Structure 1
Amino acid sequence: MSKAAQTRQFIIERSAPLFNKKGIEATAMSDIMAVTKLSKGSLYVHFKDKEQLAQAVVDYNLQLLDKKVSAAISKVPTAKGKLLAFIDILTNVMYPPVEGGCPMINFGMEADDTNPAINKQILTAIERAQKTIVNIIERGTESGEFSSDKSPREFATIMFAMIEGGVVMSRVAGNNNKMKIIVKYLKAMIDEQLK
């Protein structure tokens, strides 16, 4: 990796938690300068503006989340185990897999009406997460672990919405109490899918 590419990656990695915590609009170039210890001119050598950096940061945070979810589900052999791992990695909101919380929620809520490019990145990430759930269920159905009388796509939508809704409720409350209820019901729904 070239020196310029290394510096660009350094800026993204140092800025990622900042953007994820404060939001795109509330993060100032001076904040980025403070966490990177780089001058404004140095930042603009690597990114034409804050918007370009924000898109790179959103992509980085989403990739980081994907890697952690993939690592968690790859450790277990069964479809049920993979779904439980998916739930477990995302539902301890006091210790989220990405510093600052779920980037899909954080950036999605900010960008839905204001930033079409980032909104598209978030939509793609949401669809990818749901596709992961669908694939797990389909493999579980093919192997005979799950019954085939439920729609994997519908289940994935419900599961994902419950997790993300629980993340919001728990982050606002500052505890995992609501999430524990959601996890209990999700696990019961998964058990209903078993043959």
Structure 2
Amino acid sequence: MTKGEETRQFIIEKAAPIFNTKGIAATAMSDIMEATKLSKGSMYVHFENKEVLACAAVDHNMKILGDKLKAKLSKAKTAKDELFIYIDFYSNPVNPPLTGGCPLLNFGTEADDTNPVIKEKINKGCNASQQLLASSVHKGIANGEFKPEWNAEEFAVVMFAMMEGGHLIARMSGNNNKMKIITNTLKSMIKENSI
């Protein structure tokens, strides 16, 4: 990496948790300047405006979260393990795996009506999450863990929606009580479709 690329990456790494916590609209470039200890001129050498930096921060947040999840999933021995690990990974929204909570929920809620570029990034992330879940179900069907009639795509949508909804409820209430109901329900659904 060149010195310029290192500085750009440093700015993204410092900005990402701020955007994920405060949101894009509420984050000012002065917040990023304070976190990086860089001047306004330095900031604008690497990012032409806040929107460009916000897009990079969204990508960074989703990559960090995805890398953490992949590290956990790599320990799975079965398709059922993969689904349970996914559930457990996201089961504590009050103390989430990423500062500020789930970037799909945070940025998706903010960008759905205001930022088509970020909306598309989040939509791709939502679809990728559902495809990951569906592929675990398909793998489990193929290796005889799950009932062959289980609809992988439908379950993936339900599981993803329940987990994201649980995140919203938990973050608003400040506790994981209702998230526990959701995770237990999802695990029961998986067990019901196991052979």
Common fold: TM-score over 0.5: yes
Structure 2 counterpart of 1:152, which letter?
A
User: How far apart are the structure 2 equivalents of 1:144 and 1:136?
Assistant: 12
Match runs of 1:80-91 below 5 Å: 80-91=80-91
Counterpart for residue 129 of structure 1: 129
The C-alpha deviation readout for 1:42-93, integer Å capped at 9, x for no partner, is: 0000001000000000000011111111111111111111100001111211
Counterpart for residue 64 of structure 2: 64
Normalising by the residue count of structure 1, what TM-score does the alignment of the two structures yield? 0.99
Counterpart for residue 14 of structure 1: 14
Residue 97 of structure 1: CA displacement? 1.2
Counterpart for residue 174 of structure 1: 174
Residue 110 of structure 1: CA displacement? 0.2
Counterpart for residue 51 of structure 1: 51
Tell me, which stretches of 5 or more residues in structure 1 are unaligned?
none
Structure 1 counterpart of 2:122, which letter?
I
Counterpart for residue 108 of structure 2: 108
Tell me, yes or no, if structure 1 residue 24 matches structure 2 residue 24. Answer: yes
| Secondary structure class of the residue paired with 1:31 | helix
User: How far apart are the structure 1 equivalents of 2:55 and 2:41?
Assistant: 19
User: How many residues end up aligned between the 2 structures?
Assistant: 195
Counterpart for residue 78 of structure 1: 78
The C-alpha deviation readout for 1:16-67, integer Å capped at 9, x for no partner, is: 1100000000000110100010001100000010000000000000111111
Residue 116 of structure 1: CA displacement? 0.0
| Secondary structure class of the residue paired with 1:146 | coil
Residue 154 of structure 1: CA displacement? 0.1
Normalising by the residue count of structure 2, what TM-score does the alignment of the two structures yield? 0.99
Counterpart for residue 188 of structure 2: 188
User: How far apart are the structure 2 equivalents of 1:13 and 1:81?
Assistant: 31
User: How far apart are the structure 2 equivalents of 1:114 and 1:179?
Assistant: 29
Residue 193 of structure 1: CA displacement? 1.2
Structure 2 counterpart of 1:126, which letter?
C
Q: Report percent identity of matched pairs.
A: 53
| Secondary structure class of the residue paired with 2:90 | helix
Counterpart for residue 119 of structure 1: 119
User: How far apart are the structure 1 equivalents of 2:107 and 2:192?
Assistant: 34
Structure 2 counterpart of 1:189, which letter?
M
User: How far apart are the structure 2 equivalents of 1:53 and 1:96?
Assistant: 23
The C-alpha deviation readout for 1:142-167, integer Å capped at 9, x for no partner, is: 00011111210000000000000000
Structure 1 counterpart of 2:32, which letter?
I
RMSD: 0.6
Structure 2 counterpart of 1:32, which letter?
I
Structure 2 counterpart of 1:176, which letter?
N
